[in-house]
Every structure is written in structure tokens, then in C-alpha cells.
């Protein structure tokens, strides 16, 4: 593109521009021109480099570029092409108006550089053989239009020099291409013909990727004012068909182009949000043609019919994750609703399991409150039911690292619904037996890291953590010293359990665990890792000083080395002295699952019930006890109508599904093949025994499908 159309005016304005720049004195806090210096105020910032010059220097730079072969003005300091001239330091309104013309010239120059930047073959010969397309200026409104336009984009007046029709069968103008031609461009490596689409929409594009910065939304809005988004929206319209979207997402070349397009639509969404904050409305014509959806939503709903298939594809799964990254709450709910019914099958896939984990993470982040909180809870609860309906796949989740994270996330997000509570209780109650299987420790670690999204559900999560502590009670020393397990993560599990109980203000559990470890103080003092765990347990500020003193007094009688004991006492005292005051308890009362409950159940005694919830303002505590939930949590009025519908569904599933974990969940050597091997101990008489099956029928399998087929199940 020739630059003479835009820079011819400089010959008449150069001296005036310099005079205007030098007449105004620099104000305190303003930057001076990097070229003129001498206290000449800078009124223009060059993008993307950020160097600041005066308006006179801008005009001179553009004037000197008229007869040069390269396309665009380069910064005289860093030699980067200037893509935008941004007014600064209270620039004169007349200068701002002229900068708008300079910005359009810079945008056209960037579009002209794109094919060369993308490494188009024989670029020099192509430029010399094909006539340079000139933009044309409307004689009526003086609006500059691109060469391909048959009429003015502002007033609609016809092009006085219409372009002659060519014999070429492949047009690079997407507005004149058929859907098949656009798909053909999409399947090409790097999508070089799309450079014009992105650059006209205000996005920097090179080598099949877009490059963005903090000013990208502003550039996009400026492009919208010139209808620069038309070609990019034409591309989105072609991909709105679900079958076309699937074909493009699963192709080795076009998948990368589709990911780039998704990233571009995310930036367009940010720009539309910026415009809305400024009281502007953009893309109305596109929304009216697509049921009120913006480009990102159009792509997301095009992926829904084949979302489960895409989630398992080697490359298509990345498209699903990118679509979810900036989805609106309702869009994310719909996306998860299309994928979660296939969740148990997806966790067996090495790509699908990461999609499931990512979707649950986004659900927790995006739908944590408001109208969509119940939708997210119901989706996660439904996923828990799907797991319980497929016991063979549930077994795999219990012994696979990433799949167990999906399981724990579904339980945490699905609470307080019945399916999530039932599945979480079964997994927590089986903690000891999980540790007897190879890599079952991964599932227990995932359960200890659970966090829900409100106080009521976190109280249920706390009870699940206390259930795990009750099942591991009496075995923590063996785990800490790696006597009963050679898994290197066993001491980490003990440390995480102690930290989580301290965070939940379960001081009775901390006291019981410290007492269990103190009883083996002589052996623990000889192992630095185990000794550090004991020190940490004694230093938590939720424990009373008197309790810690009692434990240290007992250790003095047990630890044989006085030097070790002296170092332990000094470390614990110093750390406790520097501890801040303990925070307020997170809940009204501690968990009713106490350290003594295990022994009460062993003696056949009835454990005490959960405490009543705290009274609300204007209500008596007695009136709330009857309305309390399973763990003493009051059933609030929010969501009662929808909750009753879910309750009917849960009751129906409860009659059809046996959720109790039998020995087949643990006694058949189920494990993750990459996990370390554990030592089998002959403790078959103990219901929480550490014994594992001597047969290992899945020792040579590597994927979930192989695991199921070797076990006689179908995926």
C-alpha cells in the first residue's frame, strides 16, 4: 500500500506542527520529547515501544517515510514498526484528530506487512507482479476506504474507481469467499490468509498466533469504529456449524488456527466489556444474527454437541479448555452439562481427565455464588452419581492420581447434595484400605486438599477430614516412619492431615495425634523428617500452651538425647512465641467426629449426635434443631424448590445403587502403574489391614482403557 495518500498532508503541516509543539511549555510531571528535548512537551506515545515524541516529530517521521520501500513508520530509537500513535500529556484536540488519520495509516501498513512477516514464499516477486492496492477517499465525506470496497463505509457513496474483476479462483478477501474456500484457508499451516482479518480487527497476528498487550482492547474498539471486524466475524460465522467446528478442531493444522481464533474472541469479549463500561454498544449486528451471542459464545455453543468427543482428542481438548477459561456462568454450566454425563469415561482418558479437572476448577471459580451456585452443585452431584453408577471406573479413580483429584473436586463442589455426601463419606471411611493399595494414597491426599465454596459445605468437608483422621488413628506413626508403607508420600500425608486439622480448629484431634507421636518419641527423634513433623504439630497456635507443655514433659522422659530434646524445646518455644493470635474458629462448634468415637464404636456404644446449629436472630435454638440437616446444619430457604426436585432424584437413585465399597475396591491390587510399589504386610485379620493381594493382574497396563479391559470390564 502506498503511504502517499496519508502523508501528503504533512508537507503543508510540518512547520505548523513543529511550531505548535514548541509553543506550549512543558508542565510539571510531563515527559519531554525524546527527539527534540529542550523542554518540548511530548504529546504522542509510539506503540508498542512506548517512546514519547511531540506531534511535530510524528509528522516529520511520516513525511520522511513517503518514498521508502518498507511499509510503515519505524521508531527512530528501537526500529520497531509503529502500530499506533497514542495522545498523551493533554494533547491538543486538533492533534488528536490528525492522529486518528495517522492511526488508520499505521493499521493499513501493519496489514500490508503481515504476509511478509508470516514468511509467505516469494514475497518480493509477489509484490512486484501484483499491482499495489490503493485505498480510495470518498469525495463526499472524505472517509478513507479500503481498495476492495465498492461503496463508502460511512455514507454509502459508490467507489469512483471500482476494482476490475479478476480471473483468480481463490480470493484472499473472506467477504468474497465461499465457506469451502475459507475452510481451505483454515487447513493451511499458519493460516497466512487470515492476517488481514486479525489486523483489521485491531489484533497483531504473525505465524498463526495473535499477540496482545494492555492496549489491545482499545485497538479493537477503534477497529470497530471502522467496521474492521467484518472479516473476522465472517470466519466465526463459518465455524458456528457444529460439524464444521468438530472437523476444524480435530485437524492437525486448523486446530492451532482455531485456538488462535478462540483467543481472539476472548480479547473481543474484553473489548466489548470495556465498551459497555463506557456506555457504548458494539457488535449489535452480529449479536442480532446469532441469538444475542457474542463471537466467543458462538464458538462455545458450536462445540457443545461434540464436547465430549473433543475432550478426548489429542488436540481438541485444548480448544474445550480455552473455551471454558473465560466463559460466562451460564455458558460454563451448559458446557459442563454436555460433558459431565460422560465424566466416568473421560477420566479413563489421558486427555479427558485434565479437561474434567479444569472444568470443575472453573465451575468452583465462576459459579461460586448467585443464581448459578445451585447449578454447579447439581452438576457436581450428578457427576458423583455417574461415578457410583459405574463402579469399575470408580475403582480406577480411587487409584489414579489425576482422576482422584477429579473425584475429590466433584465431592467438594457437590456438597451438600446427597450423592456427593454419600460418595465422599465412602471414600473417607475407606482411607486406611486405600493406603493398602498402590497409589491409593493419592486419593487420600486429594481428599485432604478439598475446599468447598461456602461455610455450610466446608463444615461437611471438615467432617470428612475428621473421618479420615479417625480411620488413620493409631497408624500415623507407621506412616510417618514409612514402616507400613515405602511410599515417599506417606510422611507428607501425615503432615497435610495435621495442617488441615489445625486449619479447622480441631484441637482435640491435634492433641490426640501429638500424643500418638509422642509415645514413639525415642524413635522419631532419630529421623529428622519425622521430628520436623512432630515439631510442626506442637507449634500450631490452636493448641493451648498447657497441652503443649504436657507433651514436651512426656518427651523429656522418652527422648534419650538431651541435645535433641534441648533443640526441640527451643525451636517449639521460639516458634510459639512468634505465632500470632489464633484466628476465630471457622464454625460454631467442632466436629462431632472426635478421637474417642472410634473406640466408642468398637465397644458398641452410641456416639453423641451432632450439636445444634447456632440460633439465628429472632429465633430460638430449640426451633432450629428439628429443621437441622444431617450434620446439624440448618436447611435454609434458598433453593428449596429445586432441592426438592433433586431430592426425589436422589431417592430414586438411592434405591438402585449400592454405594458401599466392598473388598473388590481394594483387595485386587488396583493401582496406578507409575506409582511406587508398597510392601505387603500380613494383617488380614484387621479390617483396616495393610495387606495387598499377591496377584497383580494390571502390572503391565498404562491407561484406563487397558486397566478396564484387563479386569474384564468395558470402557
Residue 697 has pLDDT above 80, yes or no: no
Predicted confidence (pLDDT) per residue in 492-542, tens digit: 999 999 999 999 999 999 999 999 999 999 999 999 999 999 999 999 988
Three cell numbers at 347? 477420566
Top mean pLDDT of 157-161, 368-372, 495-499, 639-643 is at 495-499
Q: How many CA atoms lie within 13 A of 134 on its CB side?
A: 12
Q: For the segment 243-271, what is each residue's pLDDT rounded down to a tens digit?
A: 999 999 999 888 999 999 999 999 998 88
pLDDT attached to residue 443: 92
* Cell numbers linked to 481: 516412619
Whether residue 385 lies inside any domain: the answer is no
Q: Specify the pLDDT at position 620.
A: 44
Is residue 450 within 8 A of residue 464, CB to CB? The reply is yes
Which of the four pLDDT bands, split at 50, 70 and 90, describes residue 665? Answer: low
The pLDDT, as a whole number, for residue 276 is 87
For residue 87, what are the β-bridge partners?
A: 44
State the DSSP string of 496-555. Answer: HHHHHHHHTT-HHHHHHHHHHHHTTHHHHTT-HHHHHHHHHHHH-TTS-HHHHHHHHHHH
Q: Residue with C-alpha cell 492433641? A: 511
Radius of gyration of the chain (CA): 34
Are 700 and 467 in contact by the 8 Å Cβ rule? The answer is no
| Residue 59 within any structural domain of the chain | yes
Among the listed residues 363, 350, 330, 354, the one whose alpha carbon sits nearest the alpha carbon of residue 406: 354
Spatial distance between the Cα atoms of 601 and 583, rounded to a whole number of angstroms: 33
Residue partners of 269: CB distance under 8 A and separation at least 6: 294, 295, 296, 326
For 663, the grid coordinates are 473388598
Q: Are 73 and 83 contacting, i.e. CB atoms less than 8 angstroms apart?
A: no
Grade residue 711 by pLDDT with cuts at 50, 70 and 90: very low
Distance between CA 515 and CA 504 in Å, rounded? 19
Q: Rounded to the nearest 10 degrees, what angle do helices 401-414 and 373-389 cross at? A: 130
Give the pLDDT of residue 67: 61
Separation of alpha carbons 284 and 600, rounded Å:
68
Q: Distance between CA 497 and CA 512 in Å, rounded?
A: 13
Domain carrying residue 43: 4-132
The answer to whether residues 394 and 427 touch, using CB atoms and an 8 Å cutoff, is no
Task: Tell how far CA 530 is from the center of its chain.
Answer: 36
> What pLDDT does 181 receive?
87
Confirm if 537 and 469 have CB atoms less than 8 A apart: no
How far apart are the C-alpha atoms of 536 and 99, rounded to whole Å?
63
Query: Could you tell me the sign of the dihedral formed by the alpha carbons of 236, 242, 244, 246, in that order?
Result: positive
SS (H, E, C) 213-252: CCCHHHHHHHHHHCCCCHHHHHHHHHCCCHHHHHHHHCCC
492 CB-near residues (< 8 Å, 6+ apart): 445
Q: Which of 295-299, 334-338, 647-651 has the lowest mean pLDDT?
A: 647-651
**Number of structural domains found in the chain:** 1
Domain membership flag for residue 695:
no
Is the residue at 73 inside a domain? yes
The Cα–Cα gap between 659 and 652 comes to 14
In a domain? residue 689? no
Q: Which residues partner with 53 through β-bridges?
A: 44
Asked whether residue 124 carries a pLDDT value surpassing 90, the answer given is no
- Segment 437-455, tens digit of pLDDT: 888 899 999 999 998 888 8
19 — pLDDT class (breaks 50, 70, 90): low
Closest CA to 661 of 434, 331, 321: 434
Region 591-616: mean pLDDT is: 75
Grid coordinates given for 600: 466408642
CATH code of 84's domain: 3.30.40.10
- DSSP annotation string for 449-483: T---SSHHHHHHHHHHHHHHHHHHTT-HHHHHTTS
Residue 120 belongs to some domain of the structure: yes
E-assigned strand segments in 321-378: none
pLDDT tens digits along 192-237: 888 888 888 888 888 778 888 888 888 888 888 888 888 899 999 9
Q: Shortest CA distance to 224 belongs to which of 295, 289, 314, 297?
A: 295
Gap between the Cα atoms of 48 and 80, Å rounded: 8
Least confident of 54-58, 139-143, 528-532: 139-143
Nearest to 281 by CA among 290, 294, 291: 294
pLDDT of 638: 37
**Quick one: pLDDT band at residue 617, thresholds 50, 70, 90?**
low
Alpha-carbon gap, residue 550 to 547, rounded angstroms: 5
The set of cell numbers assigned to 172 is 484472499
SS3 628: strand
CA 473 to CA 596: how far, in whole Å? 10
pLDDT for the residue 643: 39
Structure-block grid coordinates of residue 410: 466433584
User: Average pLDDT for residues 104-132, to the nearest whole number?
Assistant: 54
3-state secondary structure of 84: strand
Percentage of the chain exceeding pLDDT 90? 30
Q: Nearest CA to 216 among 262, 265, 155, 279?
A: 265
Instruction: Work out the pLDDT band at 174, boundaries 50, 70, 90.
Output: confident
Q: What is the pLDDT of residues 66-107, one digit of tens each?
A: 666 567 888 887 778 888 888 887 666 677 777 777 888 888
Task: Tell me the C-alpha distance between 4 and 71, whole Å.
Answer: 11
CA distances from 40 to 46, 97, 487, 648 (A): 16, 21, 70, 76
pLDDT at 63: 81
Dist CA 349 CA 344 (whole Å): 10
The pTM assigned to this predicted structure is: 0.65
- In this predicted structure, what is the pLDDT of residue 651? 41
Return the H-helix or E-strand segment holding 205: strand 204-206
What 3-state class would DSSP assign to 45?
A: strand
Per-position b or e across 661-673, b if 16+ CB within 10 A of its CB: beeebbbbbbbbb
Q: For residue 55, what pLDDT is reported?
A: 83
Alpha carbons within 13 angstroms on the beta-carbon side of residue 498 total 29
- Considering only residues 452 and 703, tell me which one the structure prediction assigns the higher pLDDT: 452
When the pLDDT of each residue in the chain is averaged and rounded to a whole number, the result is 77
Label residues 490-500 b or e (16+ Cβ within 10 Å = b): bbbbbbbbbeb
Residue scoring higher pLDDT (613 or 276): 276
Judged against a pLDDT cut of 80, whether residue 424 lies above it is answered with yes
Q: What angle do CA 148, 153, 157 make, to 5 degrees?
A: 90
DSSP state of 694: S
Is the distance from CB of 51 to CB of 58 less than 8 angstroms?
A: no
Note the pLDDT of residue 642. 39
Q: Is residue 459 part of a domain?
A: no
For residue 623, the model assigns a pLDDT of 38
User: Does residue 596 form part of some domain?
Assistant: no
The span from the CA of 687 to the CA of 685, in Å, is 6
Mean per-residue pLDDT, 142-159: 73
Angle in degrees, CA 141, 143, 146, rounded to 5: 140
Would you say 478 and 484 are in contact if contact means Cβ atoms under 8 Å apart? yes
For residue 163, the model assigns a pLDDT of 56
pLDDT, tens only, 377-398: 999 999 999 999 988 889 889 9
- Contact assessment for residue 496 and residue 524, using Cβ atoms and an 8 Å cutoff: no
Amino acid at each position: 500500500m502506498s503511504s502517499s495518500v496519508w502523508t501528503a498532508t504533512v508537507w503543508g503541516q510540518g512547520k505548523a506542527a513543529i511550531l505548535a509543539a514548541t509553543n506550549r511549555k512543558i508542565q510539571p510531571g510531563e515527559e519531554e520529547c525524546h527527539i527534540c528535548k529542550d523542554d518540548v512537551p511530548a504529546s504522542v506515545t509510539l506503540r508498542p515501544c512506548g517512546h514519547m515524541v511531540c506531534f511535530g516529530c510524528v509528522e516529520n517521521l511520516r513525511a520522511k517515510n513517503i518514498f521508502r520501500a518498507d511499509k510503515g513508520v519505524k521508531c527512530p530509537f528501537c526500529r520497531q514498526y509503529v502500530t499506533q500513535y497514542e495522545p498523551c500529556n493533554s494533547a491538543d484536540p486538533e492533534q488528536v484528530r490528525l492522529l486518528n488519520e495517522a492511526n488508520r495509516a499505521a493499521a493499513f501498513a501493519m496489514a500490508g506487512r503481515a504476509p511478509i512477516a508470516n514468511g509467505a514464499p516469494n514475497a518480493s516477486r509477489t509484490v512486484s507482479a501484483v499491482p499495489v492496492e490503493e485505498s480510495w477517499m470518498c469525495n463526499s465525506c472524505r472517509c478513507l476506504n479500503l481498495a476492495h470496497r465498492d461503496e463508502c463505509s460511512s455514507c454509502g457513496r459508490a467507489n469512483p474507481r471500482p476494482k476490475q474483476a479478476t480471473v483468480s479462483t481463490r480470493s484472499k478477501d473472506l467477504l468474497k469467499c465461499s465457506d469451502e474456500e475459507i475452510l481451505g484457508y483454515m487447513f493451511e499451516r499458519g493460516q497466512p490468509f487470515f492476517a488481514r482479518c486479525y489486523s483489521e480487527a485491531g489484533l497483531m497476528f504473525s505465524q498463526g498466533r495473535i499477540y496482545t498487550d494492555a492496549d489491545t482492547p482499545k485497538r479493537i474498539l477503534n477497529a470497530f469504529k471502522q467496521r474492521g471486524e467484518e472479516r473476522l466475524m465472517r470466519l466465526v460465522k463459518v465455524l458456528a456449524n457444529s460439524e464444521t467446528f468438530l472437523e476444524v478442531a480435530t485437524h492437525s493444522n486448523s486446530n492451532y488456527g482455531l485456538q488462535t481464533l478462540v483467543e481472539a474472541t476472548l480479547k473481543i469479549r474484553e473489548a466489548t466489556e470495556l465498551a459497555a463500561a463506557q456506555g457504548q454498544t458494539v457488535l449489535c449486528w452480529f449479536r442480532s444474527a446469532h441469538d444475542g451471542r457474542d463471537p466467543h459464545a458462538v464458538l462455545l455453543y458450536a462445540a457443545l454437541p461434540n464436547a465430549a468427543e473433543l475432550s478426548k482428542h489429542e488436540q481438541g481438548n485444548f480448544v474445550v479448555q480455552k473455551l471454558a477459561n473465560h466463559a460466562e456462568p451460564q455458558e460454563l454450566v451448559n458446557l459442563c452439562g454436555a460433558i459431565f454425563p460422560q465424566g466416568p469415561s473421560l477420566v479413563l482418558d489421558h486427555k479427558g481427565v485434565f479437561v474434567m479437572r479444569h472444568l470443575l476448577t472453573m465451575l468452583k471459580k465462576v459459579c461460586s455464588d448467585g443464581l448459578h451456585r445451585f447449578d454447579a452443585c447439581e452438576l457436581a452431584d450428578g457427576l458423583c452419581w455417574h461415578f457410583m453408577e459405574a463402579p469399575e471406573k470408580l475403582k480406577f479413580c480411587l487409584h489414579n492420581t489425576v482422576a482422584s483429584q477429579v473425584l475429590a473436586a466433584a465431592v467438594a463442589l457437590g456438597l451438600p447434595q446427597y450423592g456427593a455426601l454419600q460418595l465422599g463419606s465412602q471414600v473417607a471411611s475407606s482411607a486406611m484400605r486405600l493406603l493398602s493399595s498402590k497409589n491409593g494414597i493419592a486419593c487420600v491426599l486429594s481428599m485432604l486438599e478439598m475446599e468447598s465454596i461456602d461455610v455450610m459445605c466446608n463444615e461437611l468437608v471438615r467432617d470428612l477430614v475428621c473421618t479420615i483422621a479417625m480411620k488413620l488413628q493409631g497408624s500415623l506413626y507407621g506412616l510417618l516412619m514409612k514402616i507400613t508403607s515405602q511410599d515417599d508420600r506417606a510422611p507428607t500425608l501425615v503432615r497435610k492431615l495435621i495442617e488441615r486439622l489445625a486449619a479447622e480448629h480441631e484441637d482435640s484431634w491435634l492433641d490426640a495425634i501429638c500424643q500418638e507421636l509422642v509415645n514413639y518419641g525415642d524413635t522419631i527423634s532419630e529421623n529428622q523428617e519425622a521430628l520436623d513433623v512432630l515439631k510442626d504439630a506442637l507449634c500450631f497456635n490452636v493448641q493451648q500452651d498447657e497441652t503443649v507443655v504436657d507433651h514436651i514433659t512426656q518427651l523429656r522422659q522418652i527422648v534419650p538425647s538431651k541435645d535433641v530434646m534441648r533443640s526441640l524445646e527451643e525451636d517449639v518455644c521460639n516458634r510459639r512465641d512468634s505465632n500470632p493470635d489464633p484466628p476465630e474458629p471457622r464454625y460454631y462448634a467442632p466436629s462431632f467426629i472426635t478421637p474417642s468415637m472410634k473406640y466408642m464404636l468398637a465397644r458398641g456404644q452410641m456416639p453423641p449426635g451432632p450439636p445444634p446449629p447456632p440460633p439465628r436472630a429472632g429465633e430460638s435454638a430449640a426451633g432450629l434443631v428439628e429443621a437441622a440437616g444431617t450434620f446439624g446444619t440448618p436447611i435454609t430457604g434458598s433453593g428449596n424448590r429445586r432441592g426438592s426436585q433433586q431430592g426425589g432424584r436422589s431417592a430414586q437413585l438411592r434405591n438402585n445403587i449400592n454405594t458401599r465399597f466392598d473388598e473388590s475396591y481394594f483387595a485386587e491390587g488396583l493401582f496406578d502403574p507409575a506409582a511406587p510399589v508398597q510392601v505387603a504386610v500380613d494383617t488380614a485379620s484387621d479390617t483396616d489391614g495393610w495387606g495387598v493381594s499377591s496377584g497383580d493382574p494390571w502390572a503391565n497396563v498404562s491407561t484406563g482403557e487397558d486397566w478396564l479391559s484387563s479386569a474384564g470390564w468395558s470402557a
